[in-house]
């Protein structure tokens, strides 16, 4: 075939949009071009895909190859389109099952040796695929456990490009390569700090229990060493276990932040930014892709501000809109990213009269 189509996913904030990747082969001056509003990292996919295909024993056609990412008006960022671009490009000349290629979403970065490298945001990407009615997805081997957290999706955790092409019916020899390892997941946080560790402070413990039961925000004030921080860090331990929706939201924020995700934690998250944190680190953003900040990562859990009086006024003021609306919207040129922001706020401050003995 001269035109081949497959699917990829563009992430905008916490939401993903399915992107059609179509490759066209024409009899013109040899060239490989990607169109459809790619960013710089995606524009560099031309060289990654070319080398990965060559080193996988699946060289690209030596004619003009144009890859279009549709809809063209949607901004597309990062290297997660590499596999989809490579498969669509190869399918223009290499015999493959066109129906299989067109019905599968591909997420992942390519190394020059043809191996698939893990990318952040696989979980929200697969959730977007599921919402679009697509039931098959290819992801890097290191992201396979994360992708399988979404029910009803047939996941191929591929080691290299030749394995993906063979899955689609190509007569490709799969080299014996070690999969690219992902980042090690942090120790499971399924056992939060226990409120029973607190000795004394009966009124403060009762206040935390009331706050947990009613979803109330908390302000603690007292002298240094009174146990405020110890109490606040134990609030997630008495919150109800997360349901499936909330657990997926928490895991998606971790995935977008670049953290490895292999299981769904049922424990409410706790985010405790330092008082030197900037507004951008709190609300999210970034010069390239928009990443979630501490507010979004604390969604469905607790945002803990220790020494609140030391935070700049602009940082504290940035909390007002998320607290009112339950979401946070980040505006960038040509795009708007939305993240969840449903959290309990725990603010700690020191009583100056107790410090100075007044």
Q: In this predicted model, what pLDDT tens digit does every residue of 79-117 receive, in sequence order?
A: 999 999 999 999 999 999 999 999 999 999 999 999 999
The band of 172, judged by pLDDT with boundaries at 50, 70 and 90, is very high
DSSP string, 20-39: EEEEEEESSS-EEEEESSB-
3-class DSSP assignment, residue 254: helix
Q: What is the distance between the alpha carbons of residues 250 and 273, in angstroms, rounded to a whole number?
A: 17
Tokens representing residue 299 in the block = 């969604």
For 272-328, the pLDDT digits (tens) are: 999 999 999 999 987 667 889 999 999 999 999 998 889 999 999 999 999 999 999
Predicted local distance difference test score (pLDDT) of residue 27: 87
3-class DSSP assignment, residue 221: strand
Predicted local distance difference test score (pLDDT) of residue 183: 77
pLDDT for residue 121 is more than 50 = yes
> Cα-flanking dihedrals φ and ψ of residue 326, to 5°?
80, 10
End-to-end CA distance of the chain: 84
Q: What is the distance between the alpha carbons of residues 290 and 329, in angstroms, rounded to a whole number?
A: 11
Tokens representing residue 210 in the block = 């009331």
Average pLDDT of the segment spanning 261-274 = 92
Q: Catalogue all structural domains in the chain, each as residue range(s) with its CATH number.
A: 3-167 (3.30.230.10), 195-356 (3.40.50.300)
- Write the CB contacts of 272 (distance below 8 Å, at least 6 apart in sequence): 233, 304, 305, 306
3-class DSSP assignment, residue 231: helix
For 287-298, the pLDDT digits (tens) are: 667 889 999 999
Tokens representing residue 310 in the block = 């030391």
The band of 333, judged by pLDDT with boundaries at 50, 70 and 90, is confident
Predicted local distance difference test score (pLDDT) of residue 288: 65
Predicted local distance difference test score (pLDDT) of residue 285: 81
Predicted local distance difference test score (pLDDT) of residue 199: 83
Predicted local distance difference test score (pLDDT) of residue 190: 61
Nearest by Cα to 10 from 76, 70, 79, 103: 76
The residues pairing with 10 across neighbouring beta strands, listed in sequence order, are 17
For 122-170, the pLDDT digits (tens) are: 999 999 999 999 999 999 999 999 999 999 999 999 999 999 999 999 9
Tokens representing residue 185 in the block = 């997941």
Q: What is the pTM of this model?
A: 0.89
pLDDT for residue 69 is more than 70 = yes
Predicted local distance difference test score (pLDDT) of residue 191: 72
For 211-221, the pLDDT digits (tens) are: 999 999 999 98
CA-CA distances (angstroms) from residue 231 to 82, 237, 242?
47, 11, 21
The pLDDT > 90 percentage for the chain reads 72
- 36 φ/ψ sector (left φ>0, alpha ψ -120 to 50, else beta): left
Q: What is the largest CA-CA distance in the chain?
A: 86
């Amino acid at each position: 075939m001269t035109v081949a189509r497959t699917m990829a996913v563009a992430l905008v904030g916490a939401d993903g949009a399915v992107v059609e990747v179509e490759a066209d082969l024409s009899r013109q001056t040899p060239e490989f071009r990607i169109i459809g509003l790619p960013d710089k990292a995606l524009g560099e996919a031309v060289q990654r895909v070319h080398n990965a295909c060559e080193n996988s024993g699946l060289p690209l056609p030596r004619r003009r190859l144009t890859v279009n990412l549709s809809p063209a008006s949607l901004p597309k960022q990062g290297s997660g389109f590499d596999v989809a671009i490579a498969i669509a490009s190869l399918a223009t000349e290499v015999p493959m099952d066109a129906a299989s290629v067109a019905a599968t979403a591909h997420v992942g970065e390519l190394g020059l040796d043809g191996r698939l490298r893990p990318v952040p945001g696989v979980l929200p990407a697969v959730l977007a695929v599921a919402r679009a009615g697509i039931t098959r997805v290819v992801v890097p081997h290191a992201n396979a456990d994360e992708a399988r957290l979404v029910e009803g999706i047939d996941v191929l955790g591929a080691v290299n490009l030749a394995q993906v092409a063979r899955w689609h019916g190509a007569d490709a020899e799969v080299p014996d390569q070690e999969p690219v390892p992902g980042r090690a997941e942090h120790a499971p946080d399924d056992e939060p700090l226990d409120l029973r560790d607190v000795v004394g402070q009966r009124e403060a413990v009762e206040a935390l229990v009331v706050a947990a039961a009613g979803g109330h925000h908390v302000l603690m004030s007292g002298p240094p060493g009174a146990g405020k921080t110890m109490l606040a860090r134990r609030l997630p331990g008495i919150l109800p276990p997360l349901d499936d929706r909330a657990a997926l939201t928490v895991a998606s924020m971790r995935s977008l932040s670049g953290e490895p995700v292999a299981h769904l934690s049922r424990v409410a998250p706790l985010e405790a930014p330092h008082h030197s944190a900037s507004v951008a680190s709190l609300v999210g953003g970034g010069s390239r892709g928009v990443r979630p900040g501490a507010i979004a990562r604390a969604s469905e859990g607790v945002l803990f501000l220790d020494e609140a009086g030391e935070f700049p006024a602009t940082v504290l003021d940035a909390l007002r809109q998320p607290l009112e609306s339950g979401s946070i919207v980040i505006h960038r040129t040509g795009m708007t990213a939305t993240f969840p922001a449903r959290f309990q706020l725990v603010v700690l401050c020191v009583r100056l009269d107790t410090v100075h003995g007044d």
